[in-house]
Amino acid sequence: QLNSNEIAEILPHRYPFALVDRITDGESGAWARGIKCVSAGEPYFCGHFPQKHVMPGVLILEAMAQVGAVAILSLPENRGKIALFGGVKNARFRRQVVPGDVLTLECELVEQHGPVGIGKATAWVDGVRAANAELTFVLADA
């Protein structure tokens, strides 16, 4: 397990863009599972949407990508690098994510060729799939 301070030692993201509260399980270079506790105090709810808060799908994708980034950047040879989005394929949003939800985020790294890789990511709320996507990343020097 990694807490938010330990995640901050691996990822460059900071508030308000640090979207993973805890890493609960994983294997460096292979996969990771984490959680995001969605709160009504999140800054994006001021405008998305003020009358009916819904977590933006693009931020769910980002949270899944950050979990995958922990998996790849926790390898000793990748320490100090950053993982950039290279692409998103087959993204599907299956359930609205609202304040009070706890997102369980999983990303399995299924392919890597040099600095470019692919992760299969899924987000769950209470055992129900909220989103899934294939995420392409590129490792770069920070």
Q: How far apart are CA 135 and CA 67, in angstroms?
A: 11
Instruction: State the first-to-last Cα distance of the chain, in angstroms, to the nearest integer.
Output: 25
Query: 106-110: long-range contacts at Cβ-Cβ below 8 A with a sequence spacing of 24 or more?
Result: 106/31, 106/32, 106/33, 106/64, 106/67, 107/31, 107/32, 107/64, 107/65, 107/67, 107/68, 107/71, 107/135, 108/30, 108/31, 109/29, 109/30, 109/31, 109/68, 109/71, 109/72
Question: Is 53 labeled as catalytic in the residue annotation?
Answer: no
Spot the catalytic one: 13, 48, 53, 113: 48
Residues labelled as active-site residues: 48
